[in-house]
Structure 1
Amino acid sequence: MTAPARTDRGSEELIRAEEPVLAHNYHPLPVVVARAEGAWVEDVEGRRYLDMLAGYSALNFGHRHPALIEAAHRQLDRLTLTSRAFHNDRLAGFAERLAALTGTDMVLPMNTGAEAVESGIKVARKWAYDVKGVPADRATIVVAADNFHGRTTTIVSFSTDETARCGFGPFTPGFRIVPYNDLAALEAAVDETTAAVLIEPIQGEAGVLIPDDGYLAGVRELTRRKGCLFVADEIQSGLGRTGHTLAVEHESVVPDVVLLGKALGGGIVPVSAVVGSREVLGVLHPGEHGSTFGGNPLAAAVGTAVVELLETGEFQRRAAELGAVLREGLAGLVGRGVVGFRARGLWAGVDVDPALGSGREISERLMREGILVKDTHGSTIRLAPPLTVTPEELAGALGTLEKVLTS
């Protein structure tokens, strides 16, 4: 990676310059990234950092993966946007290959993860009215506590995170919240009005919470028996992160609908999708849902290149193999600053001894040592390196974490 373009302002000055003009909806770590390649980023002053967050899984293939950059460049020279008012020559191929990769029938292309969730909610409700026969405006969707599906008004309506909710009401009705990983509570909440059960196979924002073995299979059995849909939000967990193409594959579960995003855009453009059976997605008719940019040619070209990378199985294998290295390294830190962790594939939530600092403070210490992570609640940090990270880079990051926690 070559040196970043010169700037007249250093990190501190650039950070101060943001304060008056950017809405404060984020609290970033005090690093100003100027360039990136693979698993590494470089700030405006030339300092290098190993990226152990990978854009919350949006960068599963690392920064500027050559095959993805080439696909984007090639498409930029041809066509970028038509809107869905017309067909374009990239969309059908993308949809066919994504459906084949995920074992589904149909694809609804969107842009962001939150749009995919909103679209999934609309599809589930439409299915409930048109197919299940739920009376108009009475459809309900059951969700899990501590979920994170986005921050739109509808989505925060069924969040249990008061930071996301407070000050944004009135909220959208039609949702029932039950504890995560509790099949009995889920069964009690499902009735004849239930359109769908919407859950994350692994709760990322909550701290990479992994349900008990059998939970996802139980959700699938329950929804079939009760006559409602199983909608799996795989926006963070999907597309190779956990060692399988989809996290639900760990229990050989096939949901009715899967929500995808983040990594689907290769870290280049926002690309998301709702994929599912023809019986479900077939309820949509022209004019009932749409997106000017959803399925645009540039997004479809990049998305197709992402699918091509996943079709080989290489990245799923890497996540599984390096995930074993990650788990072993974290296990060695339990009792040495780490009080517990949860990991699946190249994804971990690490609970640090609160006496050593908050998750934010630990993240800042790691940043000063050249490792970028991000905290979640309390003293928990998340590790989600690009699937292109090397064993040596991963070992180095774990060594730095040990240094920060024990020095």
Structure 2
Amino acid sequence: MTYDIAGLFARREHERYELHSRHLNEQMVRVLKTIGYDVRFSRGQGQYLFDRDGARYLDLLSGFGVFGIGRNHPVLREALTSVLDAELPNLVQMDVSALAGILAERLLVRVPYLDKVFFANSGADAVETAIKFARAATGRSGIVFCDHAFHGLSNGALSLNGDDIFRGGFGALLPGCVRVPFNDLAALEEALRARTIAAFFVEPIQGKGVNMPDDGYLAGVADLCRRYGTLFVADEIQTGLGRTGRFLAVEHWNVEPDMVLLAKTLSGGHVPVGAVLSRKAIFAKVFDRMDRAVVHGSTFGKNDLAMAAGIATLDVLASERLIENAERQGERLLRGFADMAARYEMIKEIRGRGLLIGVEFGEPRSLKLKACWNLVESASKGLFCQTITIPLFKEHRILSQVAGHASHTIKLLPALILTDEDCDWILNAFEAVVAASHQGPAAVWSLGKTLVGHALRPTGS
């Protein structure tokens, strides 16, 4: 019997929106149809997506960062196929995995100041693990996190989320979690001073907004954590594995956290995986006796497909020099956007490292453009950026989105295989759309009014 999933997809892909409205998240379908993103993507290759008509799009979201090496990379496909063909003894729970040992070894070569790895199912699962490990290692229960942070949406991870749009409606979250401003060492020291805090969780570059650390901030964090006996946990789930032009983003600031969290790109985009890289002393506190060998675990965390995906991804990053490419193409895009910002007053600031880039828009100075901005923003905060992302998609076939709820920043998070031609495509498209937005309020307000009308219309209308 031949089992044809591709054929099943082809026969029923035209029903995707109906199926999701009926059985899954209807509101997501409403969003896609409102902003015109309902083009029914049918194929992905590298940094590109193709719709039902074969039109090619440049994907600047890369599945929120999971496709660091691009979609359907041949090396990754070969690795996964070879695991299935080999009929390996996967997930023998009373044994240990050879592939997990190999992947852990290769990760720790890149982060030599850490000693141990725990494999989880996802980035949020890695955060949950790090919370437990920090509490076990220190005997403390408090956790500190930053405003605007995003560490995942499971209950413990959500407790460290700095955006109230995600926290609201879910009742009481994890006790003992303290929020401090990002880039504020004085506030962090005040939170740590009582010596009740197990760990400080921080993204080296915040994904929601692409907020950059001040030059001395992360070094100051490391010093304060050492001084007060608090563990320094770097959430590199989005920034790690070459995204910023270094294997880890913390390398830009020469700091060595006590734990590093990885996921997204490590998966190759196909098999979910998370990893917690840790100092040996932390592991020794968690797994301190034989009867506690399984005190924390994850049923699927070390499955052979996930481990093979991680091994293949690391090989591709090295053999294709994708980390170096991320640095080079990122610098080119940052220069191009900085030049644009000098010429267009509604571009407020350009931020980022490597291929994690934020283009922030802000209220302009001239009266005509100020009226345009205020009309749209008075209808819904953050709406102006949709008047940029939607024409980018419809007119230039570039898939992008804002960097967070009610944000004025568009985030670029493309695959690390981006080419010179892709960079030209991005810069030329942004130039055209931003130039059009500076022509006057009429077209921008028309689009904004349409978006607000759809967003506020009740389900079933």
- Give the structure-2-normalised TM-score: 0.81
Which of 369, 377, 385 is the equivalent residue of 1:359? 385
More helix by share: 2
Tell me the equivalent position of 2:241: 239
The range that moved more, 229-238 or 367-376, is 367-376
Q: Secondary structure at the match of 1:143?
A: strand
Specify every segment of 5 or more residues in structure 2 that has no aligned partner in the other structure, as ranges. Answer: 1-5, 288-292, 364-372, 377-382, 437-461
Q: Does 1:387 align with 2:416?
A: yes
Spell out, residue by residue over 1:308-339, the C-alpha distance to the aligned partner (whole angstroms, 9 max, x if none).
Answer: 23345812211111111110111122142422
**Which amino acid in the other structure matches residue 205 of structure 2?**
I
The range that moved more, 372-381 or 76-85, is 76-85
Q: Does 1:374 align with 2:401?
A: yes
Change (3 A) 1:36 1:189: same
Spell out, residue by residue over 1:21-54, the C-alpha distance to the aligned partner (whole angstroms, 9 max, x if none).
Answer: 1125744543422111111111123221011111
Contact kept, 8 Å, 2:152 with 2:161, in 1: the verdict is no
The range that moved more, 236-245 or 390-399, is 390-399
Tell me the equivalent position of 2:204: 201
Shift of 1:276: 1.4
**Which amino acid in the other structure matches residue 343 of structure 1?**
G
**Which amino acid in the other structure matches residue 285 of structure 2?**
V
Spell out, residue by residue over 1:182-223, the C-alpha distance to the aligned partner (whole angstroms, 9 max, x if none).
Answer: 001000100321111111101002x11001101011101111
Following the alignment from structure 1 to structure 2, what is the Cα–Cα distance between the partners of residues 32 and 313? 31
Q: Secondary structure at the match of 1:386?
A: coil
Spell out, residue by residue over 1:361-395, the C-alpha distance to the aligned partner (whole angstroms, 9 max, x if none).
Answer: 42222111210112133332110111101011111
Change (3 A) 1:66 1:202: same
Q: Does 1:327 align with 2:334?
A: yes
Spell out, residue by residue over 1:46-76, the C-alpha distance to the aligned partner (whole angstroms, 9 max, x if none).
Answer: 2210111112221111111221111111112
Tell me the equivalent position of 2:82: 74
The range that moved more, 330-339 or 109-118, is 330-339
Tell me the equivalent position of 2:46: 38
Q: Secondary structure at the match of 1:41?
A: strand
Q: Does 1:96 align with 2:105?
A: yes
Tell me the equivalent position of 1:107: 117
Q: Secondary structure at the match of 1:18?
A: helix
Tell me the equivalent position of 2:455: none
Shift of 1:307: 2.0
Which of 39, 59, 70 is the equivalent residue of 1:51? 59
**Which amino acid in the other structure matches residue 121 of structure 1?**
I
The range that moved more, 375-384 or 297-306, is 375-384
Tell me the equivalent position of 1:294: 301
Change (3 A) 1:199 1:313: farther
Highest RCO, 1 vs 2 (Cα 8 Å, sep ≥ 6): 1
Shift of 1:359: 2.5
Following the alignment from structure 2 to structure 1, what is the Cα–Cα distance between the partners of residues 239 and 143? 21
Q: Does 1:86 align with 2:115?
A: no
Tell me the equivalent position of 1:123: 133
Following the alignment from structure 1 to structure 2, what is the Cα–Cα distance between the partners of residues 247 and 25? 35
**Which amino acid in the other structure matches residue 137 of structure 2?**
W
Shift of 1:255: 0.3
Q: Secondary structure at the match of 1:210?
A: coil
RMSD between superposed Cα atoms in Å: 2.1
Shift of 1:16: 4.0
Contact kept, 8 Å, 1:341 with 1:349, in 2: the verdict is yes
Contact kept, 8 Å, 2:48 with 2:58, in 1: the verdict is yes
Following the alignment from structure 1 to structure 2, what is the Cα–Cα distance between the partners of residues 70 and 317? 24
Shift of 1:238: 0.5
Q: Does 1:179 align with 2:181?
A: yes
Following the alignment from structure 1 to structure 2, what is the Cα–Cα distance between the partners of residues 313 and 125? 40
User: What is the total number of aligned residue pairs between the two structures?
Assistant: 394
The range that moved more, 234-243 or 373-382, is 373-382
Following the alignment from structure 1 to structure 2, what is the Cα–Cα distance between the partners of residues 379 and 194? 33
**Which amino acid in the other structure matches residue 383 of structure 1?**
L
The percentage of aligned residue pairs carrying the same residue is: 40
Ranges of 4+ aligned residues in structure 1 off by more than 4 Å: 4-11, 24-28
- Give the structure-1-normalised TM-score: 0.91
Following the alignment from structure 1 to structure 2, what is the Cα–Cα distance between the partners of residues 69 and 8? 24
Following the alignment from structure 1 to structure 2, what is the Cα–Cα distance between the partners of residues 398 and 330? 7
Change (3 A) 1:306 1:8: closer
Following the alignment from structure 1 to structure 2, what is the Cα–Cα distance between the partners of residues 114 and 404? 35
The range that moved more, 227-236 or 26-35, is 26-35
**Structure showing greater Rg:** 2
Shift of 1:235: 0.2
Contact kept, 8 Å, 2:150 with 2:160, in 1: the verdict is no
Contact kept, 8 Å, 1:61 with 1:386, in 2: the verdict is yes
Q: Secondary structure at the match of 1:59?
A: coil
Following the alignment from structure 1 to structure 2, what is the Cα–Cα distance between the partners of residues 14 and 88? 38
Contact kept, 8 Å, 1:360 with 1:379, in 2: the verdict is no
Contact kept, 8 Å, 1:10 with 1:45, in 2: the verdict is no
Contact kept, 8 Å, 1:351 with 1:380, in 2: the verdict is yes
Shift of 1:145: 1.0
Change (3 A) 1:35 1:313: closer
Following the alignment from structure 1 to structure 2, what is the Cα–Cα distance between the partners of residues 264 and 85? 26
Following the alignment from structure 1 to structure 2, what is the Cα–Cα distance between the partners of residues 36 and 117? 30
Counterparts of 1:129-208 in structure 2, within 5 Å, are 129=139, 134=140, 139-190=141-192, 191-205=194-208, 207-208=209-210
